Amino acid sequence: MDQVKTDPRIIRTRKLIMDTFIDLSGKKEFKDITVKDITTEAMINRATFYYHFEDIYDLLDKVLSEVLLVNLKSEVYEKEEINEQSLTSIFKAITNFQMSLSNRCHRGYEDTIARIIRDQLEVLLYKMLLKQHQVKEDESLKVAAVMLSWGIYGASVEWRRNSQDATPEEYIKSAIPYILKGIE
Partner DNA sequence: GTAATTATGTTGGATATCCAACACAAGAAT
Partner DNA sequence: ATTCTTGTGTTGGATATCCAACATAATTAC
Element (H, E) at 16: helix 8-25
Would you say 124 and 77 are in contact if contact means Cβ atoms under 8 Å apart? yes
Nearer to a copy of itself, 12 or 107 (CB): 12
Q: Which does 10 bind (CB under 5 to 8 A by kind): a copy of itself, DNA, none?
A: DNA
47 is in the binding site of which of a copy of itself, DNA, none (Cβ under 5 to 8 A by kind)?
DNA
Dmax (CA) of the chain:
54
Stretch of residues binding DNA (CB under 7 A), selected from 8-16, 85-93, 145-153, 163-171: 8-16
Any idea what DSSP says for residue 134?
T
Indicate whether 181 belongs to the interface with DNA (CB under 7 A). Answer: no
| Closer to DNA by Cβ: residue 106 or 142 | 106
Cβ-based neighbour number of residue 52 at 10 Å: 15
Q: Which residues bind a copy of itself (CB under 8 A)?
A: 8, 11-12, 15, 43-45
Residue 95 near residue 87, CB atoms below 8 Å:
no
Using alpha carbons, list the distances in angstroms from residue 24 to 32, 83, 86, 164, 166: 10, 38, 34, 29, 33
CB of 43 to a copy of itself, least distance (A): 4
CA distance linking residue 108 with residue 181, whole number of Å: 37
Give the CA count within 13 Å in the CB-facing half-sphere of 124. Answer: 31
For position 52 contacting DNA by CB under 7 A, the verdict is yes
- Spatial distance between the Cα atoms of 64 and 21, rounded to a whole number of angstroms: 11
Q: Which of 1, 2, 8, 75 binds DNA (CB under 7 A)?
A: 8
Q: CB-wise, 12 or 31, nearer to a copy of itself?
A: 12
| Residue 34 Cβ vs DNA, minimum distance, rounded to whole Å | 4
Using the minimum distance from each CB to a copy of itself, give the nearer residue, 13 or 149: 13
| Interacting positions 101-120 with DNA (CB under 7 A) | none
**Interacting residues toward DNA by CB under 7 A:** 5, 7-10, 12-13, 34-36, 43-48, 50-52, 54-56
